[in-house]
């Protein structure tokens, strides 16, 4: 956990507050966030479906990342009342709808420019 008054923490917060690009990078970076976003984009809108799509992710990490994406306004969750027990489904917000095409472009660029050994 970062110390809030450390130079590193202060500098990170400064960069987030002064550079929109750094905000976007912080939003989509981190372990599994972009993969979770793409999994939902491909129709995996339930915890178990995302978990099956991303085999190596733990339940704890998936739950934490989903909460972070929800807090950032990228996804929202809704109760599915037709199931017993009641389930949760995840969907994109308007904020995410405008982000997805940009992420696809970044993926395309990465595929075109990745160094292979």
Instruction: Return per-residue pLDDT of the chain as tens, 117 residues.
Output: 557 778 888 887 888 788 888 888 888 888 899 999 999 999 999 999 999 999 999 999 999 999 999 999 999 999 988 777 778 999 999 999 999 999 999 999 999 998 876
Cα gap 76→40, rounded to integer Å: 11
pLDDT at 6: 84
Q: Per-domain residue ranges for the chain? A: 1-29, 31-113
CATH of domain 31-113: 1.10.10.10
Contacts 24+ apart (CB under 8 A), 73-80: 74/27, 74/37, 74/99, 75/37, 75/40
């Amino acid at each position: 956990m970062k110390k809030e008054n450390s130079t590193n923490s202060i500098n990170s917060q400064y960069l987030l507050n002064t550079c929109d690009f750094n905000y976007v990078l912080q939003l989509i970076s981190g372990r599994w966030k972009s993969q979770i976003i793409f999994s939902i984009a491909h129709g995996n809108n339930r915890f178990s479906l995302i978990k099956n799509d991303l085999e190596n992710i733990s339940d704890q990490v998936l739950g934490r990342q989903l909460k972070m994406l929800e807090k950032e306004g990228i996804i929202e969750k809704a109760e599915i009342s037709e199931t017993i027990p009641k389930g949760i489904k995840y969907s994109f917000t308007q904020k995410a709808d405008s982000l997805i095409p940009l992420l696809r472009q970044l993926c395309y660029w990465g595929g075109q420019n990745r160094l292979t050994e």
